[in-house]
Structure 1
């Protein structure tokens, strides 16, 4: 399979080393990795178009859904996941902490509201027992761990 690796890992200080290791890991499962860094476009529109082309080539997507610059996954990764779902590609997301979102965000019960939870700004946090917003957690398979665990789950599901 050609597997697109979505996630904020391209922003890591060691992104080139991470990419090389990720390629090795994907290859050890008998697959080929497609990474956003395979796209050498010099500008934002070109990067978007190139990444969309890689997504269309992919048979599946593995997405790093770790919180990035806040309590939620990287917004670009979320767009890639949504596009992959729309294209009918299987998506396996991974994060280290799969506790329900209300726990991970430290949400508290809104006084007098029964089961409603809010974050530190008073915004409602959905309470479906899912580790991420339902728009990610429902259509994606979410595993606890990292890329290796996501690959193992994809392999098992592809059976």
Structure 2
């Protein structure tokens, strides 16, 4: 990317906005994004119009976030499991939104265990092969086993669009501050992948 070119704008999706040190983490991600020649768009940089109700305030946040995504050229989505075995649902929406908009997509996780392995852990290993040949949990639901970091639509959506899927096994106390996988996405996008 030449110095005279307008830098690509990357929306930095993830659950970091919910963390107690959100500003520090978002600032570190934004600085690293600039290092690779991109312009970061952080959902934590919202200026939300006042609203008469909590519900309307939530709708205002959603509208501003969608405006950010519309202004971006691509997204890097943090799919590290949040509050359970899967990615933050807001981040999942944002990644799907950007895939649907035909923008550049990349994702990473700081947990190396696959979606399947995390699902098995959720059921304490009590998974069996059913008569139909599928892996099922005690409640009868089928488990996806495709060696992917998340639900096949997320991992597959990024891969099919040529985007990087970075997997890094961060220390448990650094799940949200370890930027190794995030930087792998930046490197791949900077190289045109």
Give the TM-score of the pair, scaled to structure 2.
Answer: 0.74
Distance 1:151 1:17, change over 3 A: same
Q: Provide Cα deviations, 1:84-113, integer angstroms capped at 9, x if missing partner.
A: 011101211100234432223326542443
2:148: which partner in 1? 130
Task: Give the one of 16, 20, 31 matched to 1:9.
Answer: 16
> Please, which runs of 5 or more residues in structure 1 have no aligned partner?
none
Kindly report which structure 2 residues correspond to 1:8-157, keeping only aligned pairs within 5 A, or say none: 8-41=15-48, 42=50, 43-106=57-120, 109-113=127-131, 115-119=133-137, 121-140=139-158, 141-145=164-168, 146-156=181-191
Distance 1:30 1:22, change over 3 A: same
* Worse overlay, 105-114 or 4-13: 105-114
Distance 1:15 1:121, change over 3 A: farther
Mapped partners of 2:85, 2:138: distance in 1 = 12
Mapped partners of 2:137, 2:190: distance in 1 = 36
> Please, which runs of 5 or more residues in structure 2 have no aligned partner?
1-7, 51-56, 159-163, 169-180
Bigger CA radius of gyration: 2
Residue correspondences, number = 158
Give the TM-score of the pair, scaled to structure 1.
Answer: 0.89
Q: What RMSD over aligned residues (CA atoms) do the two structures have, in Å?
A: 1.9
More strand by share: 1
Mapped partners of 1:36, 1:104: distance in 2 = 28
2:5: which partner in 1? none
* Residues 3 and 60 in structure 1, CA contact (< 8 A), matched pair in contact too: yes
